[in-house]
Copies of this chain bind each other. A is one copy, B any other.
Amino acid sequence: MASLDKIDAAILARIQDNNRLTSEELGNIVNLSPSACQRRLKRLRAEGVIESEVAIVSPKALGRAITMVVLVSLERERSDIVDRFKTALRTTREVMMGFYVTGDADFMLVVTAKSMEDYEQFTRRFFYENPDIKGFKTMVVMDRVKASFGFPIDPGDPMFGDD
């Protein structure tokens, strides 16, 4: 993966909160011409430093879409079982996020559903019919207080090379 300099870090810090800034606005912030900014953006996209650029939609706007946090434990932590489950996560639309974790559970999922009945049906399909799964624990989300993938990027951090 490419090494990033302080300017890259400053650009990332900004666009991870708002990717609709123009190159001109971005250039003013990081002291670079708009074209230089764009070249960097293009590079960061091509190298996969920027994984994706998305709109975050309000859950409320989409009906009473409910969200659950689910902790999943597998029967055995064998790599083929873990990999199979990872693939299932990636291909299941209801699963917004899936993190493979250490500790009390093996996976933390964020799952959306239209209703509780909908979610129950999902759990039958996704959990009960899967012999690899030992158990799962559901917590219903009452408020999505903070929802971002923004990292605390500090361009002054020595981990970022000089320009």
Assembly stoichiometry (copies):
2
- A103-B139 in contact given A19-B54, A58-B51 (Cβ < 8 Å): yes
Q: Which single member of B89, B94, B141 contacts A99 (CB below 8 Å)?
A: B141
A137-162 contacts to B (CB < 8 Å): 137-153, 159
Q: Does A123 contact B (CB under 8 A)?
A: no
Q: Does A39 contact B (CB under 8 A)?
A: no
Q: Which single member of B15, B58, B139, B151 contacts A108 (CB below 8 Å)?
A: B139
Q: Does A16 contact B (CB under 8 A)?
A: yes
Q: How many angstroms between the C-alpha atoms of A62 and B16 in the bound complex?
A: 13
Which of the listed residues A96, A140, A150 has the most CB atoms from chain B within 10 Å of its own CB?
A150
Q: Does A61 contact B (CB under 8 A)?
A: yes
Instruction: Give A48's nearest chain B residue, CB to CB.
Output: B58
- A112-B53 in contact given A89-B145, A101-B140 (Cβ < 8 Å): no
Q: Does A10 contact B (CB under 8 A)?
A: no
Q: Which single member of B93, B94, B103, B150 contacts A137 (CB below 8 Å)?
A: B103
Interface string of A90-129 (1 = CB under 8 A from B): 1001111111111111011010100000000000000000
Q: A117 to nearest B CB, angstroms?
A: 15
Instruction: Give A152's nearest chain B residue, CB to CB.
Output: B93
Interface of A toward B, CB cutoff 8 Å? 1-2, 4, 12, 15-20, 47-63, 65, 67, 69, 86, 89-90, 93-105, 107-108, 110, 112, 137-153, 159
